[in-house]
Structure 1
Amino acid sequence: MKLYKIKEMSTVEMEKKLEELEKELNLLVFRHKNRQLDKVMKLREVKRDIARLKTFIHQAKEE
């Protein structure tokens, strides 16, 4: 997910997207452990997107 897309989102949208990504991460981890995941880099991308969203949510709450 690109930064400009995150910056355009409201806090509520960010929280919804965060929930979606956390569910996706759980599914990817499960598939990775069962050796069903072809693109392991997807795990890294989702983890980084979660971290970015958490950072922006935290910054928005401080303001």
Structure 2
Amino acid sequence: MSSNEIRRLFGKLVLVGRAAADHVLHWSTWRRRRQAEAKAAHYRKRLEVTKGNEPP
């Protein structure tokens, strides 16, 4: 987690109520999971392109 994300989450959690805090934490977890999925898909795609260029 980056320092900017930690700072943002801390600010949101301190300044909002409990229900909103749950939403912020859920959103952060979803965002981090989506970033990991996108990164994995990117690497898979790059690997497919690399394998397609190998000589027979």
**Higher relative helix content:** 2
RMSD over equivalenced CA pairs, Å: 2.4
1:46/1:36 Cα in 2 relative to 1: closer, same or farther (>3 Å)? farther
Deviation by residue 1:2-51 (Cα, 9 ceiling, x = unmatched): xxxxxxxxxxxxxxxxxxxxxxx876533211224621100100000000
- How far apart, in 1, do the equivalents of 2:28 and 2:15 lie? 13
1:29 paired with 2:14, answer: no
Larger radius of gyration: 2
Return 5+ residue gaps in structure 2 as ranges. Answer: 49-56
Percent pairwise identity: 13
Q: Would you say how many aligned residue pairs link Structure 1 and Structure 2? A: 39
Q: Which has the higher contact order (CA 8 A, sep 6+)?
A: 1
Return 5+ residue gaps in structure 1 as ranges. Answer: 1-24
State how 1:38-53 maps to structure 2 within 5 Å.
Answer: 38=20, 39=23, 40-53=25-38
1:55/1:48 Cα in 2 relative to 1: closer, same or farther (>3 Å)? same
